[in-house]
């Protein structure tokens, strides 16, 4: 059993024909659980959740149109899950909760892409890293990540250490190790699911999310995982899974998490394990 729940069809129209190109690649790469998770900031219905000049310019889509594509695909016999990638903004918990409840999502990915007005993973804002203290920036990012998980609003954590996207990382193993332990403790206590994402392989950092140390800390505490590609093109669905599977197996993971209507269960990746209900 393989999953790819973190994909974006946003570069094309919201049609079943366009979606079929993503589904075809999922079948080719033996992905049985496939879902779409468009960025919420693109939709007019979510404009109040994250509003700045960058998102305002890109808020051109209708979430109902996206949902209708999923519904039509299901009517035609496609197996596809309905998800959303939602930016966590501290202080917006009530608004986020109401939005999540307003559509029948199978899962909601909690992600962080903004520290104030700094879109730290955007190419057009890359130069803003110049002069920033990397350790302080990581402290801020990881602190917000912990708040996001504490909120209990999301079905899984998207690309947990995406802050490293351009290769900016503290040269301090102790600092990172302490944060990894704190994060994994929070994930475990809040029964969070963490994404292993191959997207970093296609980014300047050139590595998987999360770092080995963070994934090991999660495994020691029994934190479940899901594997995703964060594909924005059909050809990237399931990309890099050989590396992701090798990593999770080396750490000791043998099961993945699957979602339907916010209900999650575990399924085996490699061996014959019994089907386990989480909640």
Q: Per residue in 44-84, pLDDT tens?
A: 999 999 999 999 999 999 999 999 999 999 999 999 999 99
Determine how β-strand 225-228 pairs with β-strand 33-39.
Answer: unpaired
pLDDT higher than threshold 70 for residue 278: no
Q: How many residues are present in the chain?
A: 279
Residue 26: closest CA among 77, 78, 76: 78
Q: In whole numbers, what is the pLDDT of the chain averaged over residues?
A: 95
How far apart CA 41 and CA 47 sit, in angstroms, is: 6
CA-to-CA dists, residue 9 to 73, 141, 235, angstroms: 13, 27, 12
For the entire predicted model, the pTM comes to 0.95
The SS3 assignment for 117 reads coil
Total number of domains in the chain: 1
Residue 129 has pLDDT above 60, yes or no: yes
pLDDT at 271: 56
3-state secondary structure 133-168: CHHHHHHHHHHHHHHHHHHCCCCEECCCCHHHCCCC
User: 253: domain range?
Assistant: 3-277
Which CATH number do you get for residue 120?
A: 3.20.20.140
Q: Are 225 and 248 in contact (CB under 8 A)?
A: yes
């Amino acid at each position: 059993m393989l999953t790819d729940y973190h994909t974006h069809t946003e570069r094309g129209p919201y049609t079943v024909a366009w979606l079929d190109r993503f589904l075809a690649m999922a079948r080719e790469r033996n992905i049985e659980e496939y879902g779409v998770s468009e960025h919420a900031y693109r939709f007019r219905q979510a404009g109040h959740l994250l509003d700045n000049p960058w998102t305002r310019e890109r808020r051109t889509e209708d979430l109902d149109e996206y949902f209708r594509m999923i519904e039509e695909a299901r009517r035609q016999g496609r197996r596809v899950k309905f998800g959303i990638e939602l930016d966590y903004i501290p202080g917006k918990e009530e608004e986020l909760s109401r939005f999540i409840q307003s559509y029948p999502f199978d899962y909601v990915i909690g992600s962080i892409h903004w520290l104030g007005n700094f879109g730290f993973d955007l190419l057009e804002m890359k130069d803003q890293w110049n002069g920033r203290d990397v350790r302080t920036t990581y402290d801020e990012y990881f602190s917000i990540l912990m708040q996001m998980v504490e909120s209990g609003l999301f079905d899984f954590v998207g690309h947990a250490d995406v802050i490293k996207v351009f290769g900016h990382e503290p040269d301090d193993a102790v600092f990172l190790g302490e944060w990894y332990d704190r994060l994994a403790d929070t994930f475990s206590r809040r029964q969070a699911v963490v994404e292993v994402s191959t997207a970093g392989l296609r980014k300047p950092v050139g590595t998987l999310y999360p770092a080995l140390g963070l994934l090991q800390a999660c495994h020691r505490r029994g934190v479940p995982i899901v594997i995703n590609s964060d594909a924005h093109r059909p050809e990237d669905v399931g990309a890099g899974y050989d590396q992701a599977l090798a990593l999770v197996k080396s750490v000791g993971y043998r099961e993945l998490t699957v979602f339907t209507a916010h209900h999650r269960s575990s399924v085996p990746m490699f061996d014959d394990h019994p089907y386990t209900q989480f909640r």
